[in-house]
Amino acid sequence: MRLKEIYQPIRQELTQVDEVIKTSLSEARNSSILKVNRFLLESGGKRMRPALVILSAKASNRKADSPVNKQLINIAASIELIHMASLIHDDVIDHSQRRHNNPTVNSRWGMDVSITLGDYLYSLAFELISNCGNTDILSCISSATKSMCEGELSQVVERDNLSLLKDRYLMIIKKKTASLFAASCEVGAISANSSRSLQSALRHYGLNFGIAFQIVDDYLDLTGGENNLGKAPGQDISVGEVTLPLLNLLKSSDKNQRSRLKEMLKSKDTNSLERIRKELVDSDAYLYTRKISSSYISLAKDKLKALKDSKYRRCLFGLGDLILKRGFADK
C-alpha cells in the first residue's frame, strides 16, 4: 500500500487536523510570529503521527465508521504540533539547513527564533490537550514528551562515541522517536474508550513501529539522496551521531577496516562520507540493518492481532510494510 492509499479512509479527519493546526498557528497577534507560522504551514510533512492517532481510534472502536469527535481531532493535532516543535529544536541541535525540501526555521531566522518557536508550539499543543479534559491522555502525552527530551539529550551526550553499544542506541531512539509513536497509538485507543488490553497492544505497536522507523531513517541518512530525504544526506555523521547502520558496519569490519572507518568518521568530510556510504551498502551491515528493522515491524504487526479485522487495522499493517519499503526498496 502507498501512503495515499493508507490515508484514504481517514482523509477527512486528516483535513480537520490540518485545519486545527492552521487555526492554532494563526491565532498569534504579532505579525512576525504569524510570518514564521505561515512558513511552517507551507513546509509540509507526512502527518504520520496524527494518522496513527486516528487509525488507532478507529481500529479499536466498534463504531469505527461513525464521525469522530472534536476531541480526537484536537489530540491528533496536538501530537503533530509536538512533533513539529521537536523537529525545529532538532534542526538547531544538528545545525540542519534543509528539511522537507525547504529551508529550516533555523537557517531562515536563526537559533533564538527557532528555540522560542519550538517552545511556542509545545505550549499550543498542551493547550489543546488540556482542553480535552482527559487526564489519561494528558499523562500519556506528557510522559512521551519527557522521553523525547531524554532521548535527544542522551543522543547529544553520546556524539562521537564509536564504542556505543547497540542496546544504548536502541534506548535512545526508543525515547527520542518511538515514544511519540507509541503515545499516538495509545491516545487514539484511549479516545475510543477501548479496553486496557487494546490500549496496551496499540501502544506496543507504535513503540516497535517507531523503533523500526528511526533505524530506517538512520540508514537513509547514510544512503539516501537529497531529493528523497528532503535534506542533505550524511547529517548524522557531520554532527557525530552514531547510529545502528554505522555500528553494524564497524562490527562487520576487520581490525584494519575498522581503524580506517574510524578515521574517516572523525574527518567528517564529503569524500569520507561518500566512501562510507558505498561501504555500507556493499557490506553485511546493510543486511543486518534490514533484518533488525524487519524484526521490529514484525513485533509491531504481532500486536495488531488483538484487534478485529478492519480497513483501519489493515492500514496499520500497511504502514509497517511502507516503512521497510522506503528504506530497502532498492535491494
Q: What is the pLDDT of residue 265?
A: 85
pTM, rounded to two decimals = 0.94
Rounded average pLDDT over 119-123: 96
> DSSP H helical segments within the chain, as ranges?
3-7, 11-26, 31-42, 48-59, 70-94, 105-109, 111-131, 135-157, 166-173, 179-191, 196-223, 226-229, 235-238, 244-252, 255-267, 270-282, 284-303, 311-328
Distance CA 182, CA 201 (A): 10
Q: What is the pLDDT of residue 319?
A: 96
Of 122 and 45, more confident: 122
Distance CA 22, CA 12 (A): 15
Q: What is the pLDDT of residue 113?
A: 93
Most confident of 231-240, 278-287, 320-329: 320-329
What are the tens digits of pLDDT across the range 41-74? 888 789 999 999 999 999 998 676 677 789 999 9
Distance CA 39, CA 77 (A): 18
| Phi, psi dihedral angles at 126 (to 5 degrees) | -75, -20
Q: What is the pLDDT of residue 61?
A: 85
Are 303 and 208 in contact by the 8 Å Cβ rule? The answer is yes
Are 168 and 115 in contact by the 8 Å Cβ rule? The answer is no
Of 325 and 151, more confident: 151
How open is the CA angle 218-220-225, to the nearest 5 degrees? 145
Of 305 and 238, more confident: 305
Q: What is the pLDDT of residue 64?
A: 63
| pLDDT tier, 329 (very low <50, low <70, confident <90, very high otherwise) | low
In this predicted structure, the answer to whether residue 331 has a pLDDT above a threshold of 60 is no
Q: Specify the number of domains making up the chain.
A: 1
Q: What is the DSSP string of 246-311?
A: HHHHHHHS-HHHHHHHHHHHHH--HHHHHHHHHHHHHSHHHHHHHHHHHHHHHHHHHHGGGSPP-H
Question: What is the torsional sign of CA 288, 294, 298, 299?
Answer: positive
Distance CA 59, CA 202 (A): 9
Most confident of 27-36, 54-63, 126-135, 269-278: 126-135
User: Torsion over CA of 288, 291, 297 and 303, rounded to 10 degrees?
Assistant: -120
In this predicted structure, the answer to whether residue 250 has a pLDDT above a threshold of 60 is yes
Q: What is the pLDDT of residue 229?
A: 64
Distance CA 97, CA 237 (A): 15
Q: Which three cell numbers stand for residue 155?
A: 543522543
Q: What is the pLDDT of residue 311?
A: 95
What are the tens digits of pLDDT across the range 184-213? 999 999 999 999 999 999 999 999 999 999
Task: Report the candidate in 138, 185, 214, 142 with the shortest Cα–Cα distance to residue 307.
Answer: 185
Most confident of 35-39, 124-128, 281-285: 124-128
Residue 96: which domain range?
3-328
Q: Identify the CATH number of the domain in which residue 241 sits.
A: 1.10.600.10
For the chain, the average pLDDT equals: 91
Count CB neighbours of 125 within 10 A: 25
CB neighbours of 274 closer than 8 A, spacing ≥ 6? none
Please report, rounded to a whole number, the percentage of residues in the chain having pLDDT higher than 90.
65
Cα–Cα distances in Å, from 52 out to 31, 205, 237? 33, 10, 30
